[in-house]
Structure 1
Amino acid sequence: MDKKEQITTNIMQLAETLNARYGNIIPKEKVGEAIERFSGSEEDYDIIMSKVSQLAMNYVVNYQKNQVLTNDLPKEEGRDSQTFAGIRNVYQKVQQLLASNETKVFLSGGVVPYFLLNQDSNRLHDDMDTVARMEDMPKLRFLFQQAGWYDPSWDSLNIAQDGQDYGFEVKIDGVPVGIYPFTYEDGLLTQYTYDPYNTACKIKEMPLHELSDYVTTYPSKDGKVYDMMSLEYIKKSKEKVNRQKDIQDVVKIEETGLLRKEVEDRIFPPREIQNKKAQSLNTEKTMGNATIPALLSAMVVGSFILLGTVLFFF
């Protein structure tokens, strides 16, 4: 297939994918205009496809601005509905997917001590939260999309108006799974989170002596090894909130015998520096003061381009 045919095929496939997902947001005549405009271009193939990506993303952004998403998200007040057994089964599926692709996420939240103790929590949980390195997020989106779990309407990159990556959620066997990025630079941990139920985009910061104070690897009672948010950080967070379930979880964290006193003594609760609705964020600035189109042009990962969070393959 020559360059012109490849570009034509890619544009048609992309339009078909977006129209199927968002309800015919790209008219047929616009698809024809794009093919005519780009298929005969003398520019480099990657440059052309970056421009196609930008054009496609403009349609998605306009759609998101003008329509309230009404997918199958559960009501926020009814989120505590997942059993520990269900979460454990989903975690195993996620690990099978990621281990074969040399990618990792770190399990976080109240389920952590129960994994390490190999015990049932005997209570309901709202979801399974994980954190991941910011640089791993494009590949994680790709892998979850390949597995059939990815939903672009649960992704902050399709909703947040500043173009920042606050993470995304997927649903696996009915269990919501959150994947939220963090960065660590010059002793400062920055954690981004996104809540698709109310579109809240949050940023927290915390000075760290070393990254292992925040994410690390633990052995469990059943002989397995887990990548997890640190017990010290989870304990500090739960002691601050101090609900009944948090009190129970802290007891179980201490029961693991894996707390590191030196880490517990030197870490502090994070400082929240942002908690805003996705639609109210600055529409011009994003990471490094780059605009959304600039980010789109740079979103080339391996053999695919990430269109916002719509994956387009060559």
Structure 2
Amino acid sequence: PPGAVLLLGPGEDVLLCPRAPSGESGHGRPDEALRVDVLPVPDGDPVVEAAGLAASFGVDSLAVEEHDLTVARHRAMATAAPRLLLADLGFTVEQQRIVKDEEEIGCLRIAAEITDQALGELLESILVGRTERHLALELERRLVDHGADGPAFATSVATGPNSGQGRHRPSDRRVEEGDFLSVRLGASYHGYRCEIGRTFVIGTAPADWQIELYDLVFAAQRGGREALAPGAAYREVDRAARHPLESAGYGEGLQPWTGHGVGLEIEEDPQLAPTAMGKLDACVPVTVEPGVHLPGRGGVRIDDTLVVRPEADGGPELLTMTTKELLAL
């Protein structure tokens, strides 16, 4: 549950919760053998309670995630357990979460199916004249209608020159003929999050420059997808997607990574980036999402969620199935 703290030790493991678990799918399923303690007061801090409980067990040190520990909490823990030595756990938990089991991948698969359904229905509707904000809200409503817990992140809809911004927030700009329409959305299902990004053209035939830019990003994204394999270095997957764009002269404006892990959070390890260290394992869900954005003119981004699989199992498993053809809507 949100705000809960898991205390692992030589004796009994304890889950400390600020309130009783609700049973919602996104809050996880505590093991039946796990002791669950609900704090007696609603404003109690599970982290501070965990420090006091650890001290009562007679332990000398407690491992914490320093990157998530505030100064105020650190002081409160020192007051509750002044003799307890705090050690940094680092990113051990995040590293443990990189590889998913088949039950987790099943949740991601359903999240992707819901996302594809929502996007597909929008593409069948009339788009000209509607605002970016309205389209984003409609997509998020459709995600819930199809069974999502909610959106995996804030849905992005960018039209015309707004698609030339890498991280655009939906505005009141209305869709016009000849626009690029760039959409990025994802569903959360049982707490697991996926994402998809697609770019379309509004009207009849796309302009030559739109076709050229789209084909370039499509080739880059395909290169990144095809590079996904157990044992592939993170940086090599990034290079497979990044190199075609750099060779075409678009290297300066590229985002720091061309993909990342997904799961309980929409951005998890691994990072597919030029300086990333490490290699992919099987059963790791990642995005491949290169894009080129031309400020004031327009941009293209193609984004898929996939699961790394060995070649003997058919290679990378594509979860987001919406067509990547440059459709004129």
TM-score (norm 1): 0.30
Q: Which is richer in helix?
A: 1
What TM-score, normalized to structure 2? Answer: 0.29
Greater Cα radius of gyration, structure 1 or 2: 2
